Homo-oligomer: A and B are copies of this chain.
Amino acid sequence: MKSLSIKDIAVKANVSITTVSFIINGKAKEKSISEAVIEKVEKIIAESGYKPNQIARSLRTGNSNIIGLIIEDISNSFFSRIARLIEDKAYKRGYKIIYSSTENSVDKAKELINMFKSRKVDAYIISPIKGIEEDVKMLLEDGNPVIFFDRNLPDINTSYVGADHFNASYQSIQSFIDQGKKNIALVTTDINVEQIVERYDGYKKALEDNGIKYDENLVLKIHFNQEESETISQIKQLLEQKKIDAVLFATNYLAISGLKVLKQINKKIGDDFAVIAYDDHEAFELHTPGISTVQQPLEEIAENVIKLILKQLSSKAKPENQQIIIPAKLIIRD
């Protein structure tokens, strides 16, 4: 069964297509369509269940009311929770979200940008990776609103919303030191994105400020995309160094793997061994003992992202770029 078109409505109501279009778009008054006609057409529309074809609409107007969301991996709870919040807020303002996961592949990220481009999304929300700078620059040159979140690309001149990774990391290490820890390990990833680098820098700076020498044997950089079993064996190797008395995990999935290791090698978290995980996760609260975490301000990040996007979408002129850095919260458990 073919779906109804504006033409069918026009014929039924015995008016022109133009008139129907004006009514649908709330321009009836301003285009001086009579009350009687408005009512008649609206009645027919309601009865027939006609819905305008958004594709035709997009083709004509050039915008789609769709926002593209590019993230690393929707099955990571940090991203899925952010996605949910963004979706929610966007939806309330009449925007829909198309998302896709890059799995940290530059090629896939570029492909996604192209796909979104050819689908004429109105705006891009991206948690970027190194290597897509040129593509993003082209988007910006073409006048597309682009907002980065969680991660930033320093060479790109656009708005960014994220947590204060450097300070969060610094404070975590400081709290270890305040507890008297001396041999503090860091488990992080080798992906070269700003937020990960900042966490690393915060680690180093805190050690330095406290007069503790940086020891590269205490830092483990895990390949992204490797099998979890491999990750686990690397972490196991690290943590078997007896002297380590504290460890900061730079992402939640690394912390999960790390906790599995602790369970395996039966190393207890307590007075002489402390753990902090980056990005909260339900497992950390439930764990016995509770795992201290750096909690990212998801709600604020999502709210700011949407606010910036909508501001750009509603004003023709591009607003000033903003770098919104939101403090993260260190939650000490148990």
Which residues does A use to contact B, with CB under 8 Å?
Answer: 1, 3, 51-56, 58-59, 64, 66, 73-75, 77, 80-81, 83-84, 87-88, 91, 96-101, 114-115, 117-120, 141-143, 256, 259-260, 263, 281-283, 285-288
6 A–B contacts from the bound complex (CB under 8 Å): A54-B119, A55-B119, A74-B84, A96-B115, A263-B286, A283-B286
Cβ 8 A contact of A120, one of B55, B87, B100? B55
Instruction: Report whether A53 and B118 are in contact in the complex, using a CB–CB cutoff of 8 Å.
Output: yes
The reply to whether A75 and B81 form a contact with Cβ atoms under 8 Å apart is yes
> Across the interface, do A87 and B101 meet the contact criterion of CB distance under 8 Å?
yes
Q: State the CA gap A175–B194 with chains docked (Å).
A: 49
* Docked CA distance A86–B316 (Å): 37
Q: How far is the CB of A239 from chain B (nearest CB, A)?
A: 15
User: CB-CB < 8 A to A142: which residues of B?
Assistant: 1, 3
Say which residue of B96, B115, B118, B260 sits within 8 Å of A286 (CB atoms): B260
Whether A51 pairs with B114 at a CB distance below 8 angstroms is: yes
Q: A141 vs B55: C-alpha distance in the bound complex, in angstroms?
A: 21
Knowing A256-B286, A283-B286 touch, does A80 contact B74 (C-beta < 8 A)? Answer: yes
Is the CB–CB distance between B74 and A83 below 8 Å? yes
Chain B residues lying within 8 Å of A97, measured Cβ to Cβ, are 98-100
Query: Are B117 and A51 neighbours in the complex by a CB distance under 8 Å?
Result: yes
Judging by beta carbons under 8 Å apart, are B84 and A53 in contact?
Answer: no
How many angstroms from the CA of A143 to the CA of B3 in the assembled complex?
A: 11
Cβ B64 vs Cβ A73 within 8 A: no
**Given contacts A120-B55, A281-B282, are A83 and B75 in contact (CB under 8 A)?**
yes
Q: In the bound complex, what is the Cα–Cα distance between A219 and B51 (angstroms)?
A: 44
Instruction: Add 20 more A-B contacts to A55-B118, A75-B83 (CB < 8 A).
Output: A1-B141, A1-B142, A53-B59, A53-B120, A55-B55, A55-B64, A66-B98, A74-B84, A74-B87, A75-B81, A84-B101, A96-B100, A96-B115, A97-B100, A98-B98, A259-B286, A281-B283, A286-B286, A287-B287, A287-B288
* A240 CB to nearest chain B CB (Å): 19
Min CB gap A96→B, angstroms = 6
Q: Which residues of B contact A282 (CB under 8 A)?
A: 256, 281-283
A100 vs B83: C-alpha distance when bound (angstroms): 10
Give bound CA distance, A91 to B64, whole Å.
21
A87-B74, A282-B283 given; A52·B288 CB < 8 A: no
Closest-by-CB residue of B relative to A62 is B55
Instruction: Across the interface, name the chain B residue whose C-beta is closest to A290.
Output: B263
Q: In the complex, are the beta carbons of B101 and A99 less than 8 A apart? A: no
Closest to A75 in B: B84
Which residues of B are found within 8 Å of A84, using beta-carbon distances? Answer: 73-75, 101
